[in-house]
Structure formats: structure tokens, C-alpha cells
Amino acid sequence: MKKISKFFLGVASLMLMTACSDDLGKEMGNQPGADNSDDVSDGVFFTVNINLPSAVGGRSITGDPDDNGSNSNNGHEIGKNYENIITEAIVVLAKKDNNDFIAAASINAGDLMINSADKSKYTAKSKFSKTQIEAFYDALPADRPSGPVTVRVFLFCNPTQELRNIFFADADGNVIETEGVKWYNRIGNLDTSSPIWSQNYFLMSNALIAERDLPATKELWSNYTKESTPFHLSDNNIETTVDNSVDSGRGAIKVERLAARFDFRDGANDGAGAFTYHVVYEDANIDIDEETESVADKIPLIDVTLQKMALVNVGRQFYFLPHVIDGVAGGAIGTIDETSLLSGLCKPEKPWFTDLSGKLAGTPGNYVLDADYSWKTVNGPLNNKYEDYLLYPLFDKNGNIDNTNISNDRWATSLCSDVVNGEENNTEGWTLDTPKDYHIWRYATENTIPSVEGQTNGVTTGVVFKGKMKATEQALNNDDPAIKAMAETINNEDADLGNSWTAPILYQFAGGLYMTWKNVRLAAINAAQPKMVFVPAEDFETTGKGTWRLEEINRMHSLYVAVFGTGGFGTYKFNATVKKPDGTETTEAVEYTDLLPENEECANAAWTAWEKADKPSEGDVLTKFKTTVTKAGFTIYQRSYDPNYKWGYYCYYYYWNQHNNNGNDGVMGPMEFAVVRNNVYKLAVTKIKRLGHPRISDNDPERPEPGYKDESENVYIDVEAYVLPWVVRVNNIEF
């Protein structure tokens, strides 16, 4: 839509209202000889009270909405002054039955009065065009009931230019419809240079439908043609016996921010250091007691320090007014059409209930609908044009995760240390057992998915954490030479080890971490517990010679299968102790070649072919090596350089934002993964259970793909979520 300057809009509005004032003034009280000292004669004056809703409210779960429209169950957060300030506004009157446009008015800063210290309550004054008001009354049915006329009142605080164009760019005073889209279904586009969360200018709109009464006839508006005697949309009007006050169940119009907010704190608590977590232990076969979370019997070898974080899959568009669609039994969304869009306008989010088994039970809840719902299907996005719909998409157009180009940060990442050194959040109005040292990080638009199965990695808003491996003192001083060598390599931040291809590569399998494929191969053979038997030669008594035979081996061990498949292991070097003919013992390094042929398609064969080709950094040999090794279940970590943290071994952790936790890990519920307006999501990584995804997707046997579900039985992240309005949801994340 063509942009129109504020100056032009002001002139056009003045011309419009002046042109019609002579005819309409007689009808509405602007008569010759009357006391019109403060009568501008081009409109009728009104006031309206504006409130930002607050509510009471533990974990990330949607409860029954209260009178404010909030469904938090965790208390509320007041927010910063710059998040609450209203600088200007647009007031819209619409018909009660079908939401058809009646009139619109601008409210500027000079007509706003703050009524509370936290800047959550305002009184505003402005005027509607007499032309629009009279046209509305003239179109009312002649046989309508007598008495006040009920209309709907909508507020848009700190409006964008797109909103101004909808209501004021038409010189005839008509609301502008485009492509058949009703004004109340209009969509805004996120302007990254001036976003809807600009300080002191957060875009806000109705939290709930607000119905208010107008005078019974247009003639009664003659009482409100003076600025000193405005009509009160939120109070009692003695002149026309219209009661819009709180006592009548009406009062202030409640608005909410269209943006959501993400806060963050350092959740590391095992003494390893800031943002640092023990991840790899000396005996990978000792399981952590999931109930007590105890690791007392384990010696930590490798830690992970989170260093960077990025918000991904942020919606580019948003509804100016909130929309919900009723759900149906089984967790599905109801029909989306003009009727349901109208009936779900500015309605609160309703909860979904589950029974003890985690299955949906009781009355279905509803879905919050975002502006690009038609792009999202049960099977994932309709196409791979992620950048058309999302800012900072996790996946590129080819469906790959790639943010490895240092000069082109696709995700606008933040340093974790910078985030926690940023502005602290407010703690007034909410109480949690967890520390309250959260800091404001990022804002985002609403992003919801209109199905359970459609909650996938390609569309859900999430956070990517980048971590760096760090060997512990126990690893650096370990008696095992292999562990000590790996620790020294991991902690070497200089370039003398070479680049990603020439430096030692780390391989992870089933919790075990190995440096170089040689050690993987050796571990696989040892895991199979081969039993070697010495067979003396016929002349052993004189020569001491003989051969070695493989008597037993467990070729079904998972590590052996991953490396060698169903084939043999090739040549195996081992130390053997043999008694000489004179009765003395000797230990020698000997070789044994497995009589079972090697599987030509196994991971070991693919690695061997890559090594013999001098380890090329591209081409078919490399592709087959990576494909075969990752398919066998190995994660490949290559050394890389980060401009902030030097050389090292890095990995990613993905967290998909939980909005309405159904309490059933591994099974998704309706509206479980989403970002909803006016919520604050508080993030804290409290635990990391394993090394994360490699930064190169081709190295990852569990690489996320666009259609992957946000929750699976292999849970990387445990989240405790708490809800507070602004609204706020607190998420303690465990990887």
C-alpha cells in the first residue's frame, strides 16, 4: 500500500471534517447563537479509559481466562516503563453484530493522561467525525428497539503506518479494505527498522471484545460537541443516561502488546562455572539417577559452556487484533472461515485438559491463530520458502541448518554473557522459587501452529544455543593416555592443530566420545571382547612358534555393529603373553587378520576409503564417509574457529519454545509449542545431558529437519515453564 505522510493525513482529515460541518452542525447542536466557545464544530468529543491487563497466576500451562482476558497462572510482571507507555492511539467503533466499521479517531500524546505510576492506566480524549457518526445512525433500522445503541470499541495504541493507512488514508472517511479482507482481519508486516516493540512505542490492541453503549439517537450527540463535555466510553454519561462505567461491568478498554518477550538467566548450578555444565563422564555406562539427578559416582571429563544464543523462526507478519479458533475433540482445530474468524476475534485463549495418562479430556480448548496459519499444515510447511514467512529461519531454502559463515550471521546471535549483563526484568507482581536474575533478551511476534502434528522444527519459534567443549582437570590429569590426549586437544585454542579437516576429529556414539577413527575402531573391537587363542606350531618345543586364532567374539555388540556391520574387523594389533618352551613368559605385539571378510558398505570401510584418498574436503568419497558413519549412529565433531572464542569443538542445542506444557514428555499437545502475544518467556538452561548437535548438519545422525516434530521420545531439553502476564512463561531448559 502506498505510504501517506502524517501531514497529508492531517490536511485531508481537516478538509473532510470542515466540508461537512455546516450541514451536520444543525443536527448535532452547532446552531447559530449557541455558546460554541470550545466547539470545534467538526466532530463529537469522547473520552476512553485504557488499561493494560494484569492477572494472577506455576508452570507453562494455560488456565481459564480471568476478567482481564489473561490465562496466566503464575502472577504477572508489570514490565518496563518503556513497554507500557502509550504515545498515541486509534479508537475504532464497529457494529456489534458483524464488526462493520463505523468510525475512527486519532488520539495524540497531548490527549493522553497517565493514571498510574506503572503506566498501565490511561485516559484519552479525541473526537469522531460527525459524518461517520450520522451515517451510522441513519443506517439503523427504523424499527430497532429504543434506548442506547451498543457498539464495539477497538483500540490500537502506538499504531504503525499500516494501521493509519487502513483508517485514515481514504479521503471520504471510509476504512480501507484490501483484497476482500475485513478490517478486523488485517495483517501487519514486521518492520525490522522500526519494529512493533520499539521502546516507548509498543504496538497494543484489544485483549478482549469491548462493547459499549452510545446515545440512543444522533441528536443526543449535541451534548458532546464541546471539548469540555465529552461522551465517556468508559464512564457514566448523565446527559444521555448511558452507563459505560465499571459498575455496569464495562469501564476501561483493556489492551495488550502484540509482541512477546524472551528473558534469560544463567541456569548452570553444578559448580562448573558460568553457563558451564558437566556432560561427558569417565564411565559412560554409569547412568544418572533420573530421580535424584545424582552424578556423585561419575568423574566429569568434558564440560560444555554455552556461549551464544539466537532466536530463530520469528514470524514476519501478525494480526493487528488477536484471533482464536475453537478446537474440537481429539485436539484438532475447528473450521477456519469468515464466520469463525469473526466469532473468535479478541477472545481469550482457553485451556486444554488432560487426564492422568496425559490424554486429552474434558471440553476442548482453542487455538490462537496467527497471520500465516495457511502456510502451516499437519505435515509441516507447504513449501520451503522459510524466508518469505520467517525472520531468522532455522533452515535455509534447501532445508539445511547452516549458520557456519562467520561473515553472514543468519540468526542475529547474541553472546550469553551480553544477555545477562543487559537490563534486568521487573520482579514486581510475581514470585517463584527460582532465582529472579532474569534479563530482557529479545522480542518476537506471535507464532502459533493450527494443529498438534504440525508443530515442527521448520515453523516453531525456538532458541539455538551454541556451546564449546572444555576438558576438565580430571581429564587433563587422567591416567589413561587416550583421555589425556583428547583433553589436551579439546582445550587447545590455537591454530597449530590445523583446520576442520586436518585437526583430529571427535566421534560420539551412545554417550562415548573418541578422538580419531583409530580409537573408535579399537574401542569397537574391544567391546566385542575377542578371545584370542595361541595355537603352537608342531616345532613349538624347539622354535617357540605358533599362530593366533579368534576363538570367541561378540559381533552383535552395538558399537561393533556400528563400525563393522556384519563383517570382519580386518587386521587387529594386540599385545599377547606366551609361555616359551623353557617356561618363561614373554609379551609381544602381534597382529591378527580376521578371517571373516570386511563388509564393504560398513562405516569402517567408508572411513578407510576417505583416508586412502588423503581425506579430501569435498567430493563423493567424503560424502559417502559422512553419510555412512552418521547413518551408523556416529556424531562427527570437527574443529572450527569462532571469532569470539577461538579454535575449538562446538555444538548446537535446539529448544522449541513451550507455551502450554501438557506435562506429557514425548507427546505433543494442542498449543504446546508456540509464541503468543503479551507473554514473557523466561529461559534458563538448568541441565545438559549430552553433547549437542554438530554445527555441520552433514555430521549429525539426528539432524533436525523441517518436518521433525518439536517433541519426541528422545528429549534433549527438559523444560519447567511458568506463566506470568505481561504474560510471562518461565522455562528452565535441560539439554
- Average pLDDT for consecutive 10-residue bins of the chain (735 residues)? 33 35 42 38 89 51 51 66 92 96 94 85 94 95 93 97 92 80 96 94 95 97 95 96 95 94 89 90 54 64 95 97 96 96 95 85 94 88 88 91 82 95 80 73 96 94 96 96 96 89 94 94 95 89 86 96 96 83 82 93 97 94 97 97 94 92 86 93 88 92 91 57 55 57
pLDDT of residue 294: 53
- Cα four-point dihedral sign 477, 481, 485, 487: negative
**CA 25, CA 404: separation in Å to the nearest integer?**
68
Within 10 angstroms of residue 432's Cβ, the number of other Cβ atoms is 17
Within 10 angstroms of residue 461's Cβ, the number of other Cβ atoms is 27
Q: Give the Å distances, CA to CA, from 363 to 186, 326, 329, 366, 716.
A: 30, 11, 8, 10, 32
| Cell triple for 337 | 472461515
Alpha helix ranges (H) inside 359-503:
386-389, 416-420, 473-476, 481-491
> What DSSP line would sit under 700-719, residue for residue?
-TT---TT-BS--SS-S-EE
Strand partners, 464: 310, 654
pLDDT of residue 3: 33
**CA 702, CA 694: separation in Å to the nearest integer?**
10
pLDDT of residue 686: 87
Rg over CA atoms, the chain: 34
DSSP state of 581: T
Q: Is the CATH code 2.60.40.2580 the one for domain 6-31+41-57+77-258?
A: yes
In the chain, CATH 2.60.40.2580 sits at 6-31+41-57+77-258
- Cα four-point dihedral sign 231, 232, 236, 242: positive
pLDDT of residue 529: 94
Q: Give the Å distances, CA to CA, from 79 to 137, 325, 349.
A: 41, 29, 21
Quick one: which H or E segment has residue 694? strand 693-694
pLDDT of residue 722: 52
